[in-house]
């Protein structure tokens, strides 16, 4: 691109201001970049006065390059370099679009990860997290020759709550159960998730069967004794829990088998009259 004067460059940059968060004009002959945030350029003649500082710059990157521009705040920009000839001077137009700072990227990634693995209603982990975490915990316990217990929890007659009180009331109950689980499941040695619908799963790596059944009984008693307050009145419920413990000597070959075994225990609890731990 050939331009006659700096004023022409100013007009060009003013036209490009919507496409780039920062615009730089580099004099390639002396290796200096004339710096300016050119969104402030509104008319011909202001371009020359907008450059108030210069610093060393080397054109080391090609068009479309992404690089870290500032080590201080870890800003990452997408750089587009366009060769220019202004009069007799060989120059370069650098369009820098700020993408993110490193800290922002990490925060965004963490937020996305949390959203991807969190159930929107209960704020417990979701099925996707179960599918990722449970195999890892099972493999870890197998390698360390430790037991692993899971609790499969189902709300008794939950469909009646939705039918008689409405789905909003049912959602309030599910959220209330999640709060109870968060309080009762040791964060350092276990985790709770919503498996789907009115079913919850608690994973307890390193827990023997007796200890797992004890916490299952406490969860059952806590849910039985809790009054769930909703906009449609107070609701009392019970739950059934199936407990399955595996050891390194008798570990299932797949997570699906482990969940199947826990599900069988759950239905034994329901067939025994509900409000049971098996």
Q: What is the pLDDT of residues 138-196, one digit of tens each?
A: 999 888 999 999 999 999 999 999 999 999 999 999 999 999 999 999 988 899 999 99
Measured in degrees and rounded to the nearest 5, phi and psi for residue 44 equal: -65, 135
CA end-to-end span of the chain, whole Å?
79
Residue from 62, 63, 51 nearest 26 by CA: 51
How many whole angstroms separate alpha carbon 28 and alpha carbon 268?
Answer: 79
Domain spans, the chain: 2-104, 117-271
**Is 64 in a helix, a strand, or coil?**
coil
The reported pTM is: 0.63
The residues of the chain scoring below 50 in pLDDT are: 18-21, 26-74
Long-range contacts of 270-276 (CB under 8 A, 24+ apart): 270/154, 270/156, 270/240, 274/156, 274/157, 274/238, 274/240, 275/156, 275/220, 275/224, 275/238, 275/239, 275/240, 276/220, 276/240, 276/241
- Closest listed residue to residue 83, CA positions, set 73, 75, 93: 93
Residue 250 φ then ψ, to 5°: -130, 45
pLDDT at residue number 63 = 42
With respect to CATH, is domain 117-271 assigned 1.20.1250.20? Answer: no
């Amino acid at each position: 691109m050939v331009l006659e004067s700096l004023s022409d460059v100013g007009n060009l940059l003013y036209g490009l201001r919507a496409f780039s968060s920062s615009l730089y004009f580099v004099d390639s002959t002396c290796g200096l970049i004339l710096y300016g945030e050119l969104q402030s350029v509104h008319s011909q003649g202001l371009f020359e006065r907008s450059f108030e500082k210069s610093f060393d710059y080397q054109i080391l990157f090609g068009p479309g390059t992404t690089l870290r521009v500032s080590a201080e705040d870890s800003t990452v920009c997408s750089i587009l370099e366009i060769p220019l000839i202004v009069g007799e001077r060989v120059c370069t137009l650098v369009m820098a679009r700020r993408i993110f700072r490193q800290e922002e990227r990490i925060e965004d990634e963490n937020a996305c990860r949390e959203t991807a693995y969190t159930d929107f209603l209960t704020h417990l982990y979701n099925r996707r997290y179960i599918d990722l975490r449970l195999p890892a915990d099972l493999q870890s316990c197998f390698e360390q020759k430790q037991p692993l217990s899971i609790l499969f929890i189902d709300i008794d007659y939950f469909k009646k709550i939705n039918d008689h009180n409405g789905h909003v009331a049912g959602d309030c109950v599910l959220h209330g159960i999640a709060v109870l689980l968060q309080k009762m499941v040791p964060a350092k040695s276990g985790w709770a998730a919503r498996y789907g619908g009115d079913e919850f799963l608690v994973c307890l790596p390193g827990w023997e069967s007796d200890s797992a059944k004890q916490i299952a009984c406490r969860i059952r008693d806590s849910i039985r004794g809790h009054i769930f307050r909703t906009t449609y009145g107070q609701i009392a419920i019970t739950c059934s829990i199936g407990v399955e413990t595996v050891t390194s000597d008798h570990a299932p070959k797949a997570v699906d088998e482990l969940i199947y075994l826990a599900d069988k225990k759950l239905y034994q609890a329901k067939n025994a009259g509900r409000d049971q731990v098996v």
